[in-house]
Amino acid sequence: MSTVYEVFARKARGEPLRHIGWLTAPDDDLARVYAYQMYDEERWFDMWIAPRDRLLEVFNSDRNTALGR
Partner 1 sequence: MATTVEAAGLTAAAREAVRDLILVLADSKRLLGMRYGQWILGAPELEAAIACAAMAQDEWGHARQFYALLKDFGEDVSALEHGRESHQYASMEALDAEPEDWFGLIALNALADTALSVQCEALRGSSYMPLAQRVEKLLDEERFHGAHGVAWFNRLARSGGAAAEAMAVAAEAALPGILQWFGPDSERAKLVVEAGVVDAAGSALRERYLERIGGLLDELGARGAALRSHTPSFDGFDEARRRVSTTGPDAETVARIRGDKNRMFLVD
Are 9 and 15 in contact by the 8 Å Cβ rule? The answer is no
23 binds partner 1 (CB under 8 A): yes
Stretch that binds partner 1, among 7-15, 21-29, 42-50, 57-65 (CB under 8 A): 21-29
Stretch that binds partner 1, among 7-15, 30-38, 42-50, 51-59 (CB under 8 A): 30-38
24 binds partner 1 (CB under 8 A): yes
Are 18 and 10 in contact by the 8 Å Cβ rule? The answer is yes
CA distances from 23 to 27, 38, 59, 68 (A): 11, 9, 24, 24
Binding residues for partner 1, rule: CB under 8 A, are 2, 23-27, 29-30, 32-34, 36-38, 40
